[in-house]
Structure 1
Amino acid sequence: MKAEIIAVGTELLLGQIVNTNAQFLSQELATLGIDVYFQTVVGDNLIRLQESIQLASERADIIVFTGGIGPTQDDLTKEALAAFLGRELHIDRISMDLVEDFFNKRGAHMTENNRRQALVIEGSSPLTNSTGLAVGIALSHEGKHYIVLPGPPKEMAPMFVEQAKPWLLQHAITNEMPIYSTMLKFAGIGESALEERLIDLIQNQTDPTIAPYAKEGEVTIRISTKANTEQDAMIKLDVLEEQIRSILPNHVYANKDISIERAIVDLMTERKLTLSAAESCTGGLLMERITSIPGSSTVFLGGIVCYSNQLKEKLLNVPHDLLEGDGAPGAVSAEVAEVLAEQVRMIGDTDFGLSITGVAGPDYSERKPVGLVYIAIAERGKDTEVLELRLSGNRESIRMRTVKSLLYRLWLKMVQSEKLQQDS
């Protein structure tokens, strides 16, 4: 069974708000075994809205609308659908009572246009709005099923879960198997490189399916299957997950939707490990990412943002002859990154010390190019690891990629250490 989501509102087309409703509905419909093939956004225009309904009815079995059912003249969703179906609109008495009661309890005057929020289409089932005033509707017509929901997410989501979903299960869904998914999170590898490594699995996929997604510094793969039960689904998903892990053993950091910093905090908490950091060009971004995780205070003891050479020297004891003078490697160097990591670890008496120093841009520094960054990890009782990065992009992109790269190297170091302990 195929579905299309039609989001109504000129504000969506203007980019004034983000269409999070489509994401929520796609996920919810997938759990019912309904495939969303199209998502449409249309402005507050009666003719264009009717054209969108016509097209959606030709290519989908279920059409779900969000928005355009409020009290104003540009709320046209119900009018457009009623005209398309050749049905009349009328006031639903129960819904109207709720609207009137809302204003009466507040001692406020109800303007006449608020009656529009109680409109329903002839032959439809009203969907009660538990968090707002505009009533939704659900109806079937010539083998197609239409769901009309409000636009505000706080109204739309509960109406779908509490009202529309049960209606769909009763009136529209018969033999559809639900879709089950697992998310695999990757770090230390780009989308194109990941696809190249998994190309045989991707090209030969049938069931389960593989869908990659990428954002700055990390890649996600969603593997999905249809099955009668969750147990049947997990048998298939586990087999494919193991295949992917065997191909990319050093890059899969989680099989759920969490950030790599969340994975690191969880690992360090479990092992009772501690961490400190010294940052130059990233200006505290690494520390912000770590401390944004609830419970990170048991892991992260503190850090220093040392932008200037003066603070590198005074607070973290970086030798002056490494920073300045003839033959000095300079602040942006492997030598300074190593000292920063070791010193912040010793000052904090932590198990790990992390450091970053580099050129985020937009201009050269120390006659070194934008995107040249050094990261280091000092671990108690072990040699310090230093890595040179050559990154591209704007200032913010370089800073974020640097942080993600360092977090990946820290995660990998801990995972490999665990494997060595298990093998010994």
Structure 2
Amino acid sequence: MKAEIIAVGTEILLGQVVNTNATFLSEELAGLGIEVYYHSVIGDNRQRLEEALKTAELRSDLVILCGGLGPTDDDLTKDVTAEHLGQRLIQDEKGYQQLLAFFQKAQREMTPNNLRQVLVFEEGIALPNDTGLAMGIFYEGTTDYLLLPGPPSELQPMFLRYVKPLFQEKYQQNGRLISRVLRFYGIGESNLVTKLADLIAEQTNPTIAPYAKPNEVTIRLTVKAEEEQTAQQRLAEVEAKIMARVGEYFYGYGEENSLVEVVVSLLKEQKRTITAAESLTAGLFQATLGDVAGVSTVFPGGFVTYSLDTKSRFLAIDRKLLEKFGTVSRECAEVMADNARKKAGTDYALSFTGVAGPDELEGQPAGTVWIALATPWSVKSQQYHFTRDRRYVRHSAVMAGLDLLRRELLREK
């Protein structure tokens, strides 16, 4: 099964948007046993898109188009592909009702061009969009076509909820393809691959595919087997070999089970609460917690204390201590965490203080970060030296804080 992915949008060619959809789809398709042979990007140009479709169907069994399904005149994907396939565009009734409901709820006028978003191929399968308005389409022919919306927040849920089950049924292989995703924090991709080099070199079935993500690494194990029990046994055998070498960095399974979700789950399970006092991260840790549904049961609130003055006033820290040791110090981090925990009345508190950059602070280079964890029985702290830009330093600090808390929670289990 040969597939190719065509991203449509001039903004991608101009570098205004990063084509993360291709990465996501390639990983997902590999897990389904569908090999992606080509990636391409086409601007909002009717003639060039038509040429790309002609080329694609000569060499691929499945052509996936991302983007260009919106309401404006430069959203050409659906029109060009329909014309290419000789398909009439018809209005999908469920999509239309969803469109009406959206504009009524938003109390906005629906302009006629929005109806373009709910047009589908007469002989195609309409794919609902649970997080947006532009519907997707699957068309089965000599070459199969899949049309997906461009925004990742729409494309990914649509693929996982509707396309993936469809493909699993349609493109059945000899035997079943079953995947298991392992997630690691605290080790880089190059180091992880080095430690697993012989396992990766000798892989056959299951296969071992490492992927680098911001501040973490995932490994997708994929096995092909006739029976579920056999597949799971083979996956478990390979996983055991991997864990024997890099298990200390492992934190969870699955594509969507992120580090913050694992931490919040542990807090709920142990009926523990967390607060935070943030300086350089300026609330990013607390915002990350807030992304998890139901976090209010373990997170009552926290503190953002960017300046020396707010550290003193909000957290009741002695200014003499801050003036003596500075804000980028073990002492500052520990008293921030300890006082935050006591003021919020929580079981744990994390504090973040340091230099996000680009300039140094208090003689400390950019990327210097102190993180402290306060518990009812102790306060511990650790210094980090992160690299790259300001945003990356702040994100790295949040991930490090989450891992500190995760390890503490596991020790107490």
Output the TM-score relative to the length of structure 2.
0.77
Distance 2:315 2:359 in 1: 26
Distance 1:160 1:371 in 2: 37
For residue 339 of structure 1, what is the amino acid of its counterpart? V
Is the 2:44–2:74 contact (alpha carbons within 8 Å) kept by the matching residues of 1?
no
Structure-1 residue corresponding to 2:272: 273
The 3-state SS of whatever aligns with 2:286 is helix
Residues 153-175 of structure 1 deviation map (CA, whole Å, 9 limit, x = unaligned)? 769987998799869966xx464
For residue 199 of structure 1, what is the amino acid of its counterpart? A
Structure 2 CA distance for partners of 1:24 and 1:176, relative to 1, 3 Å? farther
Distance 2:188 2:162 in 1: 40
- Shift, 1:368, TM fit: 2.3
Is the 1:322–1:331 contact (alpha carbons within 8 Å) kept by the matching residues of 2?
no
- Write out aligned runs for 1:146-185 (5 A): 146-147=144-145, 149=147, 151=149, 173=171, 175-185=173-183
The 3-state SS of whatever aligns with 1:302 is coil
Structure 2 CA distance for partners of 1:406 and 1:16, relative to 1, 3 Å? closer
Structure-2 residue corresponding to 1:35: 35
- Shift, 1:376, TM fit: 1.0
Structure-2 residue corresponding to 1:139: 141
Distance 1:374 1:195 in 2: 29
- Shift, 1:346, TM fit: 2.2
Is the 1:189–1:219 contact (alpha carbons within 8 Å) kept by the matching residues of 2?
yes
Distance 1:381 1:129 in 2: 54
Rg (Cα) greater in structure: 1
Match of residue 403, structure 1, among 391, 398, 403: 398
Distance 1:317 1:167 in 2: 59
For residue 40 of structure 2, what is the amino acid of its counterpart? T
Is the 1:129–1:155 contact (alpha carbons within 8 Å) kept by the matching residues of 2?
no
Instruction: List alignment gaps of at least 5 residues for structure 2.
Output: 101-109
Instruction: List alignment gaps of at least 5 residues for structure 1.
Output: 419-424
Distance 1:164 1:408 in 2: 32
Structure-2 residue corresponding to 1:288: 287
- Shift, 1:335, TM fit: 1.5
For residue 13 of structure 1, what is the amino acid of its counterpart? L
Of stretches 263-272 and 43-52 in structure 1, the one that deviates more from structure 2 is: 43-52
Is 1:417 the counterpart of 2:412? The answer is yes
Structure-2 residue corresponding to 1:318: 317
- Write out aligned runs for 1:106-121 (5 A): none
Distance 1:163 1:351 in 2: 43
Distance 1:314 1:196 in 2: 49
For residue 260 of structure 1, what is the amino acid of its counterpart? L
- Write out aligned runs for 1:66-77 (5 A): 66=66, 75=76
- Write out aligned runs for 1:270-419 (5 A): 270-324=269-323, 328-382=324-378, 384-418=379-413
Structure 2 CA distance for partners of 1:218 and 1:97, relative to 1, 3 Å? closer
Structure 2 CA distance for partners of 1:81 and 1:278, relative to 1, 3 Å? closer
The 3-state SS of whatever aligns with 2:336 is helix
How many pairs were matched up? Answer: 389
The 3-state SS of whatever aligns with 1:63 is strand
Structure-1 residue corresponding to 2:63: 63
- Shift, 1:213, TM fit: 2.1
- Shift, 1:76, TM fit: 7.1
Distance 1:278 1:69 in 2: 44
Distance 1:295 1:160 in 2: 23
The 3-state SS of whatever aligns with 1:410 is helix
Distance 1:15 1:316 in 2: 44
Distance 1:79 1:196 in 2: 47
Residues 59-101 of structure 1 deviation map (CA, whole Å, 9 limit, x = unaligned)? 4333344566899698477768987xxx9x4x65xx55879xx
Residues 189-230 of structure 1 deviation map (CA, whole Å, 9 limit, x = unaligned)? 222222222222222222222222223322222222223344
